Amino acid sequence: MKIDRIAVYRLPIDFGETRYTTGASGTAQASIDGTILRLDTDEGLVGWGEISPWGRSYLPEFAEGARAGIDVLAPALIGADPTDIAALHAVMDRHLDGHAYVKSGFDIAAHDLFGKSAGLPVYRLLGGLGSDRIPMNCAVYHGPFEEMAERIAAYRERPGYRIFSTKPGGEAVADIALYERLAGIRRSDEIFIADANRLWTLADALRVARAIEPLGFNLEQPCATYEACLRVRRATGATMTLDESVTDGDVLARLARDNAADIVHVKLSRIGGLAAARRFTAFCEIAGLSLSWASSGGTEIADMAALHAAAATPRAHLFGLWSCREFNTESYAQGAFEIVDGVTVPGTRAGLGIVPDEAALGQPIALFR
């Protein structure tokens, strides 16, 4: 099988009335600029991938950069065998150093094609079904306590939700007060995460971590750098998750050696896609670490890629999955996973298991043959 055509779509993904805020000093995200890839083959199969960064300043990835990288990589991939994932990555690495987020879109589409050609769901290609019930992680974006409590209550109206990722504002005194109030509404079977998304300085992170440690919060990515997070880790007994600073296998190995975290929250675009996800899962199983999965943002395509990574994670090592389409006002594909009682169940359809709505995607902005 050979790739003989690549189509690129630009897709504005709107959050409607939601203004997703990670902190008082951050910008409120009301939409994201998505890029969808369609890979056609000489055997008539089609694979779908996606690169939809969360704005321009959350991670070192942005939509215009993704499309510029696609212009470099797409011509080089015409004629490549999408079922030879290692060779596909070798071609991309020869033509573009780094920029894992750009490569992740092609990697996801290639896995979709590989699964369809084999008649298997993608998680089977990643090692098999490790978790048949995947718990969902709910994102409770920052705001006044009353608003955050309302968002938690709204999730609870759908039974089974137990993991709540709550975002601080970035000022230590106010954040301590916020988490003290949030702790007062946590139920005994629920997990509350204080997910700073790198927001705190080291001094503020230490102050908040020590203050809220008795409250039982999981602490996620308190500071911008790995080194600062490690200092917070060593100063508190709280369960620690690292997210944005986990960029590749070298950081993952260092994390295990330093005992820097208990949970690794992995965004597929950050590490380059599903081929890297398989390596991450194997390493974390050996190291005794738990994994939480997500895509930075996007449509059902990105969501299903993260689902397959989660489904291939052994249940003992799976912490949860965040749905990146949680705030989207529109649906862009059929067949995506549904959430029932706070969990989702992997399907058995071949490939990613979804059928994009090509009318919703509009006309391609670029074609490569």
* Catalytic residue numbers, as ranges: 167, 267
Closest CA to 96 of 68, 64, 73: 73
CB 346 within 8 A of CB 126: no
Closest CA to 123 of 345, 366, 310: 310
**Who's near 241: CB < 8 A, 6+ residues apart?**
193, 195, 218, 219, 220, 221, 261, 262, 263, 264, 265, 292, 319
* Cα–Cα distance measured from residue 301 to residue 347, given in angstroms and rounded to the nearest whole number: 14
Q: Which two tokens stand for residue 285?
A: 């199983």
Query: In the beta sheet, which residues pair with residue 6?
Result: 39, 368
Q: Please state at what angle helix 85-95 crosses helix 100-118, rounded to 10 degrees.
A: 160
DSSP letter string, 301-327: HHHHHHHHHHHTS-GGGEEEE--TTTT
